[in-house]
Structure 1
Amino acid sequence: MCGMPQQPPVRSTPSRPRRPDASMSLLTTVMDHSLDEGYAEAAARKKAKGPSQVPRPLRAKLGLALGLVLAALVVTVGAAQARIAAPVVAKERAELIDRIESATSDADELEGDVETLRDDVGERQREALKKHGGSQGELVSLLSGATKVHGRGVKLVVDDAKEADQGGGGPRESAGFSDTGRVRDRDMQRVVNGLWQSGAEAIAINDQRLTALSAIRAAGDAILVDNKPLVPPYTVLAVGDGQRLSTRFQNSRDGQYLHALQENFGVRTSISVQEDVRLPAAPSVTVRTAEPKAGKGTS
């Protein structure tokens, strides 16, 4: 009996256990192949070629040379541009200088005209004082400072103490007085008032003639006489009975005040009798007149 061919027994092959991360195929691929194949291939080729043909020091020198070439190019371009702009700048500068010189010349000419007109006005005012002053015209002109005057008198010099700072040592106003040895506006006011009271007929400070309307003030580091700044030493010239004027002033309260400044604060003073003192006329004289209206009385 023919039997059916026997087939070899089928052996069951045990299946491999499933990986726990089988469901995370993308993450697994990334972890297994962290280096891209292209990068790996390039690294292999570089390793096969051996070290770079250009040494590192040489590459550094080439980079430095390239930087120097670029810097030289920038400097060259800047110099070329400056050379192109130089004539324009020089022309503008020359034009500006010409304009300044022209404006300065015009200002000087105008200032000269103002001085001429001021002198003319002063002369007319002096003539008016003489003409309308009657018998007292000369005295009025003298007391108002409208005319030049000379005669016997005194010379009084007042200066800061030696230790005082001449280069901006503070204001000369009387307010906020401190022991700095600097002559103040109040000091000069007392000097002038003391000379008037002692018999002075005319007074000038640093060739600045004083009148009945003159004011002595201070502005910063300068003392102003009729708004004209004066600097020390202050030379006071007074016309009067020389020796008598000197004695009376030194014995007056204002003379004693000046002496106290010298003793206590080092302010330097000196007074001397002069045989001929010359004083200029005041730069400008203001003439005021008043006339009552007819038919109206005064109240």
Structure 2
Amino acid sequence: MDARDRTVRSRSAWRVGVPVVCAAAGLLLGATYSVSGGDEIRRSDAPRLVDLVRETQQSVDRLTAERDALSPQIENHHGGSPSAAAALTAISGRADALAPDGGLTPMRGPGLVVTLNDAQRDAQGRFPRDASPDDLVVHQQDIQAVLNALWSAGAEGIQVQDQRLIATSAPRCVGNTLLLNGRTYSPPYVVTAVGDAAAMQRALSEAPLVTLYKQYAVRFGLGYQEEAREVELVGYTAPITMKYAQPIGPLGY
């Protein structure tokens, strides 16, 4: 191959290679533009992690300073002045005086313990043949009947399972369990009351629904037991904020 042939081939390679390289560079620039949206990919003013951390810290410092500045205002508003402190003391004293009647403090004294339980199988492991499933379990109305009788007899305080009852307490049956203040319980259900045990037993014997339950207990094997003895009640500790109640007078009573 002479020099002329080599020169011709070299020029042909350049004629083909240069357009290919230019086309590839154009495709690369186009892809870069579409990714960056027309902006520089590595601009000097792009946010950095350290800058974001610094800005967040400055925001936290500013909010902390605002909180510290507002704290004295809150203190002055709630008991900072002699009159406000006296009013707060009076309110606290009234709340403490009402706490026992409201069921918020523990209580101990003579009382009565009533236990209700679902029916149990006999020695052969069977229930009465003519019993339906509803005949074999303690229902909400059974527990409510016992509670109503105890309250009517002058009970000073009542506890169901391990929870003290207050004015807003509402035992509910969910399936074969008892729901009280967001917690569920399985039988046996233990109702503990402080008060005159004889009066409460008399009220239970005269309550129609309790009498009906006792008949079912004899017929289908439901559990029912009364025990007069010294008892102790816990204080109610859950939140007692009213959601729907409204005061009926200027002072709420």
TM tier, smaller: 0.5 to 0.7
Q: Which residue, out of 197, 217, 227, partners 1:262?
A: 217
Instruction: Provide the alpha-carbon RMSD of the alignment.
Output: 2.8
Deviations 1:121-175 (CA, angstroms, capped at 9, x unpaired)? xxxxxx9976125xxx54x3233211111111001111111139xxxxxxxxxxx
For residues 272 and 247 of structure 1, what CA distance do their matches in structure 2 show? 13
Aligned residue in 2 for 1:280 = 234
Letter in 2 for 1:233: P
For residues 129 and 248 of structure 1, what CA distance do their matches in structure 2 show? 37
Q: Using the TM superposition, give the Cα deviation of residue 291 of structure 1 relative to its aligned residue in structure 2, in angstroms.
A: 8.8
Q: Verify: 1:131 aligned to 2:93, yes or no.
A: yes
Q: Using the TM superposition, give the Cα deviation of residue 249 of structure 1 relative to its aligned residue in structure 2, in angstroms.
A: 2.0
For structure 1, the residue ranges without an aligned partner over 5 or more in a row are: 1-126, 165-176, 294-299
**Larger relative contact order (Cα-Cα within 8 Å, sequence gap ≥ 6):** 2
CA contact (8 A) 2:135 2:216 kept: no
Q: Flag the 1:252–1:129 CA change in 2: closer, same or farther, 3 A.
A: farther
Q: Flag the 1:291–1:187 CA change in 2: closer, same or farther, 3 A.
A: closer
SS at match of 1:262: helix
SS at match of 1:282: coil
Aligned residue in 1 for 2:201 = 246
Aligned residue in 2 for 1:148 = 106
For residues 128 and 186 of structure 1, what CA distance do their matches in structure 2 show? 41
Greater CA radius of gyration, 1 or 2? 1
CA contact (8 A) 1:153 1:239 kept: yes
SS at match of 1:245: helix
Deviations 1:224-261 (CA, angstroms, capped at 9, x unpaired)? 11221011111110000122222222222243133123
Matches within 5 A, 1:226-245: 226-245=181-200
Q: Flag the 1:221–1:251 CA change in 2: closer, same or farther, 3 A.
A: closer
Q: Flag the 1:236–1:129 CA change in 2: closer, same or farther, 3 A.
A: farther
CA contact (8 A) 2:145 2:207 kept: no
Aligned residue in 2 for 1:183 = 138
After TM superposition, the score normalised by the length of structure 2 is 0.52
Count of residue pairs the alignment pairs up: 150
For structure 2, the residue ranges without an aligned partner over 5 or more in a row are: 1-88, 123-131
Identity %: 27
Q: Which residue, out of 152, 155, 160, partners 1:205?
A: 160
Q: Flag the 1:291–1:235 CA change in 2: closer, same or farther, 3 A.
A: closer
After TM superposition, the score normalised by the length of structure 1 is 0.45
Deviations 1:179-212 (CA, angstroms, capped at 9, x unpaired)? 4411112211221112111221111111111111
Matches within 5 A, 1:23-34: none
CA contact (8 A) 1:145 1:285 kept: no
CA contact (8 A) 2:109 2:231 kept: yes
For residues 290 and 218 of structure 1, what CA distance do their matches in structure 2 show? 30
CA contact (8 A) 1:156 1:271 kept: yes
Letter in 1 for 2:207: S
Aligned residue in 1 for 2:35 = none
Q: Using the TM superposition, give the Cα deviation of residue 264 of structure 1 relative to its aligned residue in structure 2, in angstroms.
A: 3.1
SS at match of 1:281: coil
For residues 221 and 112 of structure 2, what CA distance do their matches in structure 1 show? 22
Matches within 5 A, 1:107-126: none
